[in-house]
Amino acid sequence: MRLSGELLRQVVESEGQAVAAAAGAGRLPLGWGAADCLALDKDGQETAQTRVYLGCDGVKVPVVTQAEKQARRAKAKAKRRRRGRKCRPLPAARQGAEQPYKEFKVVTLYDDRCAHRLVSVTAGDCARAGRLMRRDAGRVGLDKADDKVAVVDGAEWISNQLGRQAVPLDAVGLDFYHLAEYVHKTRRAVYGEADPEDTADPGNRWAAGVLHVAKHAGYEALDEALCGWVRGLRGAKRKAGLMLLGYVTQREGMIRYPEFLAQGRQIGSGPTESMCKATTLRIKGVGMRWDADNAEALMALEALDQSGAWQAYWDSFLSPAA
């Protein structure tokens, strides 16, 4: 079968929209549940308990702006006029985006080994992402897991939606690497730039010490250490230090690294970050711009594959050829 590039694009986007609709209606196949997700202990050995993680993050997607759409349409009309013959009318113009990038939301549920994974995407707002969290938590039976953990990047909208949607969780943890990013941002503001590999640099020693305290002593020790350190700063450096202190104090209940490590829980959101990359890999090619719904359709296809449900979907929803 031969298809033109344009027809192939339409077929792929149409199938992606069908996958997204099937997900919304709860008709996508799912070959696992909370009972299949055995937890690992601190030594990496399987236990008799079950554990499921929930993650959520935003990712930027390149979209077509209204100005770009108008420029394209003007170019198409000019080309038609140069032909000098009557053409079929152009289809109705679709509204473009206000900005060149739009934040999409990615929701993931997975186990310790990432052997089981459910990935969903949306071009909608925070509330839509929250509804995906609740829907997918229900699909995998999150409430039936012995240990239900969210590891997220600390964005307020994620914590708000976890609460508003009443997602059944035993703990919510702050991704350690996002904390590390904020610590090193503060290091540069206070101590200046330095080679990250230079262990003798005062700024690097400070950052390493702060992260060690956070990871092995917990929130109270971290807060005490930062309060004492900030008191010795002045001017812009003090402002940067206070911003870090505020970031930490606002996430007191999420900085539980010693507890998480003792129970064998993960402290990084790497599985969610990797899904942000995987679901947008196809749509971030050089020069690519998308309508939001078409980008969401392609991401839905990738999410289906990353969820391990690709073959089961086609087996279930496509009728055999006559």
Q: Helical H runs in the chain?
A: 5-24, 66-83, 126-140, 156-164, 176-191, 202-216, 219-230, 235-249, 257-263, 270-280, 292-306, 310-317
155-189 tens-digit pLDDT: 999 999 999 999 999 999 999 999 999 999 999 99
Residue 13 has what pLDDT?
Answer: 92
Residue 215 has what pLDDT?
Answer: 97
**Average pLDDT value over all residues in the chain:** 93
Residue 142 reports pLDDT greater than 60: yes
> Angle CA(39)–CA(132)–CA(283) in degrees, nearest 5?
100
The structure tokens 């799912």 sit at: 30
Among the listed residues 130, 154, 140, 144, the one whose alpha carbon sits nearest the alpha carbon of residue 110: 140
Domain edges within the chain? 16-81+95-174+268-316, 176-266
34-58 tens-digit pLDDT: 999 999 999 999 999 999 999 999 9
Q: How far lies 322's CA from each of 11, 163, 318, 319, in Å?
A: 20, 50, 12, 9
More confident residue, 2 or 137: 137
> Angle CA(113)–CA(309)–CA(8) in degrees, nearest 5?
130
Among the listed residues 6, 36, 235, the one whose alpha carbon sits nearest the alpha carbon of residue 142: 36
Residue 26 has what pLDDT?
Answer: 82
Q: What is the C-alpha separation between 207 and 212, in angstroms, rounded?
A: 9
- As given in the structure block, the two tokens for residue 222 are 């971290």
Label residue 319 by pLDDT band (50, 70, 90): low
Name the packing angle between helices 202-216 and 176-191 (round to 10°). 150
More confident residue, 23 or 120: 120
CA 304 to chain centre: 15
The structure tokens 């006559």 sit at: 322
Label residue 88 by pLDDT band (50, 70, 90): confident
Label residue 320 by pLDDT band (50, 70, 90): low
Q: What is the C-alpha separation between 306 and 116, in angstroms, rounded?
A: 10
- Facing residues of 62 across strands? 101
195-253 tens-digit pLDDT: 988 989 999 999 999 999 999 999 999 999 999 999 999 999 999 999 999 999 999 99
- As given in the structure block, the two tokens for residue 51 are 């554990």
Residue 93 reports pLDDT greater than 80: yes
Neighbours of 156 (CB within 10 A): 10
DSSP per position, 57-99: EEEEEEB-BHHHHHHHHHHHHHHHHHHTS--PPPPPPPP-BSS
Q: How far lies 242's CA from each of 82, 163, 214, 220, 232, in Å?
A: 63, 27, 17, 16, 11
Residue 5 has what pLDDT?
Answer: 85
Among the listed residues 253, 254, 233, the one whose alpha carbon sits nearest the alpha carbon of residue 242: 233
- As given in the structure block, the two tokens for residue 7 are 């027809």
Label residue 317 by pLDDT band (50, 70, 90): low
User: DSSP character for 161?
Assistant: H
Residue 244 has what pLDDT?
Answer: 97
More confident residue, 40 or 84: 40
Its sign, for the CA torsion 243, 247, 249, 255, is negative
The structure tokens 């030594």 sit at: 43
Among the listed residues 211, 155, 202, the one whose alpha carbon sits nearest the alpha carbon of residue 183: 211
Residue 277 reports pLDDT greater than 90: yes
